[in-house]
Amino acid sequence: KQEVTQIPAALSVPEGENLVLNCSFTDSAIYNLQWFRQDPGKGLTSLLLIQSSQREQTSGRLNASLDKSSGRSTLYIAASQPGDSATYLCAVSGGYQKVTFGTGTKLQVIP
Amino acid sequence: ETGVTQSPTHLIKTRGQQVTLRCSSQSGHNTVSWYQQALGQGPQFIFQYYREEENGRGNFPPRFSGLQFPNYSSELNVNALELDDSALYLCASSFVGTGEKLFFGSGTQLSVL
């Protein structure tokens, strides 16, 4: 059974700081890994998708890496802004079309 | 290009009742999946539909059922509601062949009293 863990559960940083969010998974036989952002009471917004054959993806100030062999992914956010405050979730897609989410990291960027 | 839309946005039911939630997939997508998200938790996979057939299911009892229609819209039906069914229900659509990037709707907040 795939298990996805995200550390830390919550993070508070001053505006402008670079930060790293971590995601680990127990079964390395994955199809892809996706990072999402969720604002309170809202749906999920896709940030980055990394296929199992890829090592990283970048979009603007965001960079996500994937190391399948160690079961880890990181989301790097450069020059954080108050608008980045949200919960960040990683999701691993495995066999039988099943997607497993982590419990998320709640990020607060303080102006 | 239209996004994923879900209805209703909020719903209040009593224990034992039945509920139907609806989802319209993003234009051009042929796969829809449903998730349950309890407060403070990550979404839990319920099931996925492709070409109107269920092709993947998480650890949810049979009283959770679904349908996908020829226009790729979808329904989630829950029978015999329990208090623990109170959650945010999320629908996601994707297109097989593009790495299956998931696009989510805003969800339906279900409260069971």
DSSP codes, B3-69: --EEE-SEEEE-TT--EEEEEEPPTT--EEEEEEE-TTS--EEEEEEETTEEEEE-S--TTEEEEE-
pLDDT (average), residues A36-62: 93
Whether the predicted pLDDT of B42 surpasses 80: yes
CB contact under 8 A, B103 and A42: no
Q: Does pLDDT of B6 surpass 80?
A: yes
CA distance A78 to B29: 32
Residues of chain A in contact with residue B6, where contact means CB-CB under 8 angstroms, are 43
Question: Which tokens go with A2?
Answer: 């795939």
pLDDT band of residue A90 (cuts 50, 70, 90) is: very high
List of chain B residues whose C-beta atoms are within 8 Å of the C-beta of residue A42: 106-107
pLDDT band at A94 (very low <50, low <70, confident <90, very high): confident
**pLDDT of res. B97:** 64
